[in-house]
Structure 1
Amino acid sequence: METTPIVLFELDVAVPAQQFRIEYTLVDKGGLPVVPEFLLRLLKISALMPAEIAKYFGFSAKELSVAMIPFIKNGEIRIRPDGKAELTEIGLRLFSEGHETPIVKRKEERQQTFTFDLLAFSYLGRSLKSVESKRTLELQAATETLTESCRSAVEAFMGQLYDIHRMGHLGGQQQERLPPELYKVAETQKVREGWEILVERAAIDANARQVRFIALEGLRENEAYLRQRTEQLSRQTATENFELVLRLVDMLGDADSYDFLRSGGLDLQAFNATAASAINSDTRIFGSLQLQENWNKVFSLLGKHRKELKRTHQGEPLKLTWLAPASHGLWGKSARHGEICSAFNELSDAKAQRGKGENIFEVKVLIPLSGDRDMQGIKRARSDCSEAKKLLCGFVESEILAPIEAIILEGRLAVVLYHLVIPEISQVPIPFGFVTENENRVDMLARLINSTLEEYVSGNTPRFLGPIEKSKKQ
């Protein structure tokens, strides 16, 4: 019996794409109206006198002339010396390829836009899906590909013409019509550059002792795409952090994680079994926060406390902190990250019913930076977390906090996710952790974070850098 694989990470991948305007000429093989068709079919059987044809169709002499003249002008019908009409060689070729009915070829010149990715040059549709790559892992096209993209687009257009036709994208032609022939491509112009956004999900393959992306058809199985995805991921998850995670597990007294953590490394089969048994657990969490089921669980808990505090809270706002991990560069690379940022922004505006209706929460989103002049990191945070930009605070990344993502609601709730990075078995982080509403454990986690932020780093610089919005603009 097959079991549903445990999904650990969801990632939006941006594939470079370009939209092209292509001028082309089709030779459209279409049928004829009923009368001309039967006229040709009749003459294919036998040469006939015009009077016999007129009698067959019930035509007057003028009506017969109107029906026959276009074919005579095209050299498809001729009048023999004996006065009979017959098909010429050109006319007989209309019945080629075994067709019982005549097929007429017409040239049609068109100009349309078509979009192709720049890795495999697969057809993506008429329009460009996205002009920005916000919150994604960006893949890169080779410089030569960019230079020669118009030529490659023509080759792709010619090679995928039938598929484009089946989609109804050749001037609105319907799929059931016979496929057209391409006569020529006159000109190709690059119109716009952008991205095709693919959602990738990585799951445990316990038998292979690996975490693998779930295989899907289309561009995701293309060799060029897979090679570029692997290259970009390796840059984001280059350094193993097993020992750092193990040290944190010890510090936080997380005994349950020893079910699959060993001194020699991660037991992925035991991890898979534990994750499968904890799907409905209130205290364990497996996979990234951006997975819908995990965010639903956390959002429900935050909503519960918000509802209680709205009725009862008085005094200073409670601290609500969301700490980002620093062990890899894939945090927030998902469209759902924007949804989470929006939720924290809404929580920052939540008001109490009692007293003067003051804010319930003091919300901070803590972003690790390489230093106080890490403008690239600041710019990335502002973009990826734009829905919560007023909540962003920077801190100089710390080795002890690097592997964890945490949501701490002062005295009430803690959600902790270790982001385990082991490149040998997974191209993406392996997130797992716990949820607790035990006040003592929540306070211990808050103290760990706060004491680390209160430290000073080289140059006698405070580790906590303050609100990112006040940082010098790049």
Structure 2
Amino acid sequence: MDRTFKYHAVDFLLPAQRFNIHFSYVSQRGLPFVREFVLRLVHLSPMTKSQISVFFGFSRREIDEAVADLVTREELMLNETGRLALTEKSIGYFSDLGEAPKLALLQDSWARLCFDLATLSCHGNLRSDKWKSGISLPVATESIAKSESLVEKAFQHQFHEILNKNLLSKSLTQDEKDNPTVYTVNTVNKIGQMPLRLTVNFNVDEQGRSVEREDFEILNDSDYVQQLITIELDRLARPNNMIEIAKAMMQINDDFTIKLIESKTHSINLNFLEDLHKIEENSAKRITFIGPLYSEENWALLQKHLAPALNSRIKNGINDDQRSFIWLASSDPYWSKSNRLHVALSDFYNKAKTKDKTLYSPTLYLPIENSEDQRAIKQWKNELDPDLENAHGIREGFLGGNVEVLALERELAVVVYHMSFPESYPVTMPVGFICTDSKAVNLIETLVRKYIQGSAGHEKPNDCGPIKKLLHNQKEKLLIS
């Protein structure tokens, strides 16, 4: 079996709505013992009262009561020969000769269920989520406007599937022999909207070729949603940035990562990655990785290399709130499009302090056009709130906007190149390295600081200031105007 390697994971947000659904259903229930077996016997052949009495060993009083009850229920009658026979009503209890009779009961029930508006798949009672850290997938406005009537039909069509997933009341499934069916849907009321978060893994094979995306098991129609995703990927596509990436590597003095790229095909060389890891194991001062820095695997790798520096400070009682830890994001359209980023940011901020010591001062730099770029500023607020306490806006352009850096002063640096090879891969490929070599860390840190402290002209500093302050300034301008 061919191996695949994940190089990116992106969350897509599919519109979904929650509904209160009131409906009536018909269930088939068994009958009491005597009633069932008298009817089963007569179903085989019409009989006299005495024949039934002999068969069951009933007394005269017992057979009189049993037959009278069934006649009253309109389930037995006398036929033209004077024998007891089934009525049209009781004949309907039987599906086949010899089968147990089932009585159809009409009952009311309700359910609170979520349906996505692209495929109308039922997702139970989805946990509420926010429209952030993902790429929103548009659906037809008609699907939103007519969602209640569309869900009514979908619920009836998918009723047994929803029932088998145990998404309905337990009273509908208490008896495994029951087979309830929808009689009618009385009302469908929309009570909320939220995104259905779909995480898409982007993989390559052993030759570095892009692998087809996997289907979504939770959707009725993966093909349609895959089409929506492809449209968004095409919209976000950027030109090949190989030349800019090569220039950035030269400035960082990185001679290794460039060897991972096949220059003719602009694809990744996984065989060389394995060789590079063997070389790096000997030095223990650099490790190369593929994928977002905040992915579970890569973030764990970072913590492993970061731990010695932080543990040393704790052990030696160092209290240093001046030592900076900078995280400078790239302008890549897929950066931050995953819930995993919030886990990493929480780590980034929370590990800055122990109970009684400050180990470093964390700052997150987010790319914007300038301090007046309210669209980007508001987008970052929506995307990363509440992780904005130490977030600054930084003028776009650091190493062409293609490079992400995380640097702990004098201790450690992480560089991630966000490579755009649209002819080979549908999304950018993050490729980076973690290093603790003092010379390399100093070079990277110097590049970052020089850019942050630089400017694009008179009174146009690259560091545009805290995101929260930029938002506040804009509100004041709106009030004044």
TM-score by length of 1: 0.89
259-268 or 427-436, which deviates more: 259-268
Question: Does structure 1 conserve the Cα–Cα contact (< 8 Å) formed by 2:267 and 2:424?
Answer: no
Deviation by residue 1:196-231 (Cα, 9 ceiling, x = unmatched): 222221111355822543445342961221111222
**How do 1:347-362 and structure 2 match up within 5 A?**
347-350=351-354, 359-362=358-361
Secondary structure class of the residue paired with 1:390: coil
Q: 1:159 to 1:135 in 2, by over 3 A?
A: same
* Higher alpha-carbon deviation: 140-149 or 202-211: 202-211
**1:306 to 2:348 alignment:** no
Change (3 A) 1:290 1:314: closer
Whether contact under 8 Å (1:129, 1:196) holds in the other structure is no
Q: Is the 8 A contact 2:115 2:122 kept in 1?
A: yes
Q: CA deviation at 1:160?
A: 1.1
Q: Distance in 2 between matches of 1:413 and 1:465?
A: 25
1:285 equivalent in structure 2: 289
Distance in 2, matches of 1:35 and 1:334, equals 63
CA distance, structure 2, for counterparts of residue 62 and residue 370 of structure 1: 95
Deviation of the 1:119 alpha carbon: 0.6
- Matched-pair contact (CA < 8 Å) for 1:121–1:156: yes
Counterparts of 2:434 and 2:332, CA distance in 1: 21
Q: 1:238 deviation in Å? A: 3.2
The answer as to whether partners of 1:241 and 1:327 remain within 8 angstroms in 2 is no
CA 1:314–1:196: 2 relative to 1, 3 Å? closer
C-alpha distance in 2 between matches for 1:263 and 1:380: 36
Q: In structure 1, what is the Cα distance between the partners aligned to 2:64 and 2:256?
A: 93
Aligned partner of 1:324 among 326, 329, 340: 329
Amino acid at match of 2:234: S
Q: Quick check: 1:345–1:387 contact (8 Å CA) kept in 2?
A: no
CA distance 1:303–1:116, change in 2 (3 Å): same
Secondary structure in 2 matching 1:196:
strand
Answer yes or no: is 1:8 the counterpart of 2:7.
Answer: yes
Q: 1:396 to 1:61 in 2, by over 3 A?
A: farther
Q: 2:156 aligns with which of 158, 168, 178?
A: 158
TM-superposed deviation, 1:316:
6.3
For the pair 1:452 / 2:456, whether they are aligned, the reply is no
Distance 2:65 2:293 in 1: 74
Provide the rounded CA distance (Å) in 2 between the counterparts of 1:149 and 1:279.
52
Displacement after TM superposition at 1:403 (Å): 0.9
Alignment partner, residue 132 of structure 2: 134
Alignment identity in percent? 24
Name the stretch that deviates more: 288-297 or 277-286. 277-286
Alignment correspondent of 1:202: 202
* Equivalent-residue separation in structure 1 for 2:191 and 2:328 (angstroms): 41
Residue 236 of structure 1: aligned partner? 236
Going from structure 1 to structure 2, the CA distance change for 1:37 and 1:216 (only over 3 Å counts) comes to same
Cα pair 1:54 1:64 within 8 Å, conserved: yes
Counterpart of 1:309 in structure 2: which amino acid? R
The alpha carbon displacement at 1:67 in A equals 4.0
The farther-off stretch of 227-236 and 432-441 is 227-236
Task: Identify the range of structure 1 (218-227 vs 138-147) with the bigger mean alpha-carbon deviation.
Answer: 218-227
Query: What letter matches 1:293 in structure 2?
Result: E
| Contact map agreement 1:338 1:387 (CA 8 A) in 2 | no
Alignment CA distance shift 1:391-1:170 (3 Å): closer
Alpha-carbon shift at residue 144 of structure 1 (Å) = 1.0
How far is 1:262 from its partner? 5.1
Match of 1:213 in 2: 213
Asked if structure 1 preserves the Cα contact closer than 8 Å seen for 2:15 and 2:137, the reply is yes
In the TM superposition, what is the alpha-carbon distance from 1:292 to its structure 2 partner? 1.2
The answer to whether the 8 A contact 1:14-1:139 is kept is yes
- CA distance in 1 between counterparts of 2:249 and 2:413 reads 15
Structure 1 residues 62 and 447, CA gap change in structure 2 (3 angstroms): farther
Amino acid in the other structure paired with 1:142? A
Q: Does 1:398 align with 2:403?
A: no
Residue 177 (structure 2) pairs with residue 177 (structure 1): yes
Letter aligned with residue 437 of structure 2: N
Secondary structure of residue in 2 paired with 1:411: coil
2:364 and 2:391 in contact (8 A); partners too: yes
Moved more, 38-47 or 258-267: 258-267
Where structure 1 has 5 or more consecutive residues not aligned to the other structure, the ranges are 352-356
Matched residues in 1 for 2:417 and 2:243: separation?
12
Match of 2:479 in 1: none
| CA–CA separation in structure 1 for the residues paired with 2:376 and 2:211 | 28
In structure 2, relative to structure 1, the CA distance for the partners of 1:319 and 1:88 (3 Å cut) is: same
Deviates more, 1:419-428 or 1:257-266: 257-266
Q: Read off the aligned partner of 2:138 and give its amino acid letter.
A: Q
TM-score (norm 2): 0.87
Q: Deviation of residue 459 (structure 1)?
A: 6.4
Structure 2 stretches of 5 or more lacking a match? 476-481
The 3 A distance-change label for structure 1 pair 262 and 106 is closer
- Residues 398 and 451, structure 2, Cα contact 8 Å, conserved in 1: no
- Measured after TM superposition, the shift of residue 90 of structure 1 is 3.2
2:198 is matched by which residue type in structure 1?
L
Measure, in 1, the Cα distance between the counterparts of 2:392 and 2:97: 74
Distance 1:119 1:314, change over 3 A: closer
Change (3 A) 1:177 1:163: farther
| CA distance in structure 2 between the aligned counterparts of 1:273 and 1:183, rounded to whole angstroms | 61
* Contact 2:266–2:424 (8 Å) recurs in 1: no
Aligned AA (1:375): Q
Query: Is it true that 1:334 corresponds to 2:332 in the alignment?
Result: no
Aligned twin of 1:435: 434
The alpha carbon displacement at 1:82 in A equals 6.3
Compared with structure 1, are the counterparts of its residues 90 and 365 closer, same or farther at alpha carbon in structure 2 (3 Å cutoff)? Answer: same
| Alpha-carbon distance in structure 1 between the residues aligned to 2:67 and 2:188 | 40
Letter in 2 for 1:259: K
Of 148-157 and 56-65, more deviation after overlay is shown by 56-65
| 8 Å contact kept, 2:121–2:220 | no
**Contact kept in structure 1, 2:119 and 2:220, CA below 8 Å:** no
1:117 Cα shift? 0.7
Q: 1:407-446 deviations in whole A, cap 9, x for unaligned?
A: 1111111111111122332222201121211111111111
In the alignment, does 2:141 pair up with 1:143? Answer: yes
| 2:83 corresponds to | 84
1:375-397, CA deviations, whole angstroms, 9 ceiling, x for partnerless residues? 33333333443454221111111
Name the CA shift for 1:443/1:218 in 2 (closer, same or farther; >3 Å).
same
Query: In structure 2, what residue type is equivalent to 1:273?
Result: N
Q: Secondary structure at the match of 2:337?
A: coil
Tell me how large the CA RMSD over aligned residues is: 2.7
Aligned partner of residue 6 in structure 1, secondary structure: strand
* Cα distance between partner residues in 2 of 1:255 and 1:359: 35
Residue 431 of structure 2 corresponds to residue 426 of structure 1: no
- Offset of residue 285 of structure 1: 1.2
